[in-house]
Structures are given as C-alpha cells and as structure tokens.
Amino acid sequence: MNTKTKKITAAGALLAICIVSQLFKNFSVYITGPIINACLLIAVLTCGIFWAAVLAIVTPVTAFLITGAPIMKVVPAIMPLVMLGNLVIVFAFWAFVRKNKKHLSVLIGGIVGSVAKAAVMALTISYGVLSVVTLPEAMQAKLPVFRTTYSVTQLITALIGVAYAVVIWTALKKAFNEE
C-alpha cells in the first residue's frame, strides 16, 4: 500500500472511531473526549497535519449531529471555537513531533497541546462567549457546568487522550515505519 493510500485509510479509520465514540457522549464526556483527542494525535502521527486538521474540524460537527448538544443549539458560536481548540492541540502537538516521533516528544507535545487547547477553549468559550450571551432561563443554572466543561474537563480529557495516544503509538509506529 502506498503512503498516500495508507494516510487516507488511517484518517478514515480514525474518523470512524471518533464517530462511534460520539455515540457514548451522552453517557460521559470522559469516554468520548479522550478517544477524540487520542484520534487527533494519532492522526498527526500517522496521517500528517492536513488530515489531522480535517479531523479537528469535522469531529465537532459529527458530535453535534449525533448528540445535538443543547448548549450548541443555543450558542452556535461554540462549535467553531471547539474546532479552534482541536486545531490548537493538533498544531501544538505537530510542532513537537514533526521531526521526532519518539515517546518523549509524543508525551511532551501531547501535554503542551492539551494545556494549549484547554486554555484556548477556556478563554474563548468559558470566559468569552459564555460571558456575553444570555442563556435561556432553564440553562442559566448550568452555566458553571458549561464553563467547567469547556475548560477543566477539556484539559482532563485531552490529557487522558495523550495517555491513550502514547500507548497506541507504541503499537502503531512500526506499521508506519517510524522506529
């Protein structure tokens, strides 16, 4: 299989994993979030920055279509900011691993990317958009939960995703000639 075909196949498989994991989002973001983040990082390692960026943009759309998060229906500006957060983790991670895909680079890049993603989402969503919009009365009591979801929870799920990615990359790197 040539390299281009391998990358497209891997990106398709990772997108499929993301979509299946999103079916569990209503059970817990601690199931879906780490899987999505791990897939984004694995996409950087196996498919390259282009396909990882595509997944970063597509996964919030598929998540919305599958679970229909009520907050995104009320505040649609959140979706592009989630995409931005995903792009931040992808590009920050890529900056660390583009020349060296060893375990330490993957781990450090993942941690830096996770912190950057959480910071961007906290600033733009939790303390940006959610500070200026008026939520319907039924949702106002959940504002602290929404703020936590788009800040602390993003950091935790991203870091768990890094742990998954390190373990998965250990198994995959030989298949992608990265030893």
Q: Tens digit of pLDDT for each residue in 15-39?
A: 999 999 998 877 888 999 999 999 9
Amino acid code (one letter) for 73? K
Q: pTM of this prediction?
A: 0.93
DSSP assignment of 26-54: TT-HHHHHHHHHHHHHHHHHHH-HHHHHH
The residue assigned the tokens 């910071």 is 119
Question: pLDDT tens digits, residue range 71-115?
Answer: 888 899 999 999 999 999 999 999 999 998 888 899 999 999 999
Asked if residue 122 lies in contact with residue 154, where contact means CB atoms within 8 angstroms, the answer is: yes
**What confidence tens digit (pLDDT) does each residue in 116-168 have?**
999 999 999 999 999 999 889 989 999 999 999 999 999 999 999 999 999 99
In 3D space, the residue among 52, 32, 33, 50 whose CA is nearest the CA of residue 42 turns out to be 52
Residue partners of 117: CB distance under 8 A and separation at least 6: 85, 86, 88, 89, 92, 154, 155, 158
Q: Give the C-alpha distances (Å, rounded to integers) separating 171 from 98, 102, 159, 168, 174.
A: 19, 12, 19, 5, 7
What does the block give as tokens for 46? 């196996």
- 178 pLDDT band, cuts 50/70/90, is low
Domains and CATH numbers, the chain: 3-172 (1.10.1760)
